[in-house]
A = this chain, B = another copy of it.
Amino acid sequence: MSINTILAPIQNELQMVETRLRESVRLDFAPLTSVFESLIESGGKRVRPALSILATKFHPTDADKMVSLAVATELVHAATLIHDDLIDKSPLRRGSPTINSRWSGTATVLAGDYLLARAADVAANIDNFRVMKIFARTLMAICEGEIRQDFGGAHWPPNRDEYYRHIESKTASLLIACTEGGAILSDGTEAEIAALRAYGYNLGMAFQVVDDILDFTADENKLGKPVGSDLRQGTFTLPVFYFIEQDTRAARITDFLSEDIEQLIHEIRTSPAIDASKAEARRFAQAAQDALKIFPDTLYRRALSELAAYVVERTN
């Protein structure tokens, strides 16, 4: 099932988000506006706005605040992409030149900061302190996770617990902010808020595990970067941990890494570690779907459930 089909029930809302997103990055300094616009327009799947909107749909919710929540989550996401690309020195993002490849480091840092500020500004319009605090905490978790990884090189090997902790802060935390924030905004019960929080967490974990699998298995043209990029940069992801645990040659992994990285990547992508990782992603997706059981079987619950399935089965 395509993402557009899944999100059909909230097409109008997503259209409002697009309009507000564009407005939110329009400022009286044209060069900056044009850079933000191209970042925003290069799109992506708007997973975070979609989650935010769907999570509000179990109770009547103020449309303007719902859109603000969705826009704020996408702005935070865009800001973290800007800083991530700078940190990774990435030349391209979704096929377009990154801000860091066109501008100075200075301007790139500040462009990201500006979007964070804009996200806070939009989030403040929601007039809900619980949501505001979730946003602030999410951003702290994202930064702390990245910094921890930056310093984590000190001990070897990293372990799977740290991997889970890292992808929770890197990816799941913002998806939690979307779904928990939406639930709070719609005045859901505490049980509903907890359920949508659990959904967001598990969806985020599934999403990132699949991203990390695709880094090994996807078509290079679709990826837009060489296969095994994470490992090339020294980052161990779930397939690597399963490979280490399951393959006797893995005792030699440090040799592999320094001597024949191409061979190592080939070994991993053709090993049972990929299926084991995929099974793990499916378990997370299943847990996300299970968390939805307390809600009535509406169009929106079905969309959330289908999103969880989509996240695992996608190929790019």
Residues of A within 8 A of B (CB): 27, 29, 31-32, 83, 86-87, 104-107, 109-114, 116-118, 120-121, 123-125, 127, 129, 132-133, 135-137, 139-140, 142-144, 146-148, 150-151
**Could you tell me if A150 and B107 are in contact, using CB atoms closer than 8 angstroms?**
yes
Show 15 residue pairs from A and B whose CB-CB distance is below 8 angstroms, ordered by the A residue.
Answer: A31-B151, A83-B109, A86-B105, A87-B106, A107-B150, A109-B112, A110-B147, A116-B116, A117-B137, A117-B143, A120-B120, A120-B132, A120-B139, A121-B136, A123-B136
Taking CB atoms, residues of chain B closer than 8 Å to A144 are 27, 29, 32, 114
- Known contacts A114-B147, A116-B116, A147-B114; A109 and B87 CB within 8 A of each other: yes
Q: How far is the CB of A144 from chain B (nearest CB, A)?
A: 6
The answer to whether residues A136 and B113 also contact, given A147-B107, A151-B107 and a CB cut-off of 8 A, is no
Apart from A87-B105, A109-B112, list 18 A-B contacts with CB within 8 A.
A32-B151, A87-B109, A105-B105, A107-B147, A107-B151, A112-B113, A113-B142, A116-B116, A117-B137, A117-B140, A118-B136, A118-B140, A120-B120, A120-B135, A120-B139, A124-B132, A124-B136, A125-B133
Nearest first, the 9 A-B pairs at minimum CB distance are: A117-B139, A121-B136, A114-B143, A120-B136, A117-B140, A87-B106, A124-B132, A124-B133, A113-B143
Which of B109, B124, B127 is in CB contact (< 8 Å) with A109?
A: B109
Interface SS of chain A: helix, strand, loop or mixed?
helix
Q: How far is the CB of A61 from chain B (nearest CB, A)?
A: 18
Expressed in whole angstroms, the minimum distance between the Cβ of A17 and any Cβ of chain B is: 19
Q: Could you say how many copies of this chain the assembly holds?
A: 2
With beta carbons under 8 angstroms apart, the residue of B121, B132, B133 that contacts A140 is: B121
Q: Give the chain B neighbours of A109 by CB distance below 8 A.
A: 83, 86-87, 109, 112
Question: Given A110-B83, A148-B29, are A121 and B105 also a contact pair (CB < 8 Å)?
Answer: no
CA distance A27 to B148 in the complex (A): 11
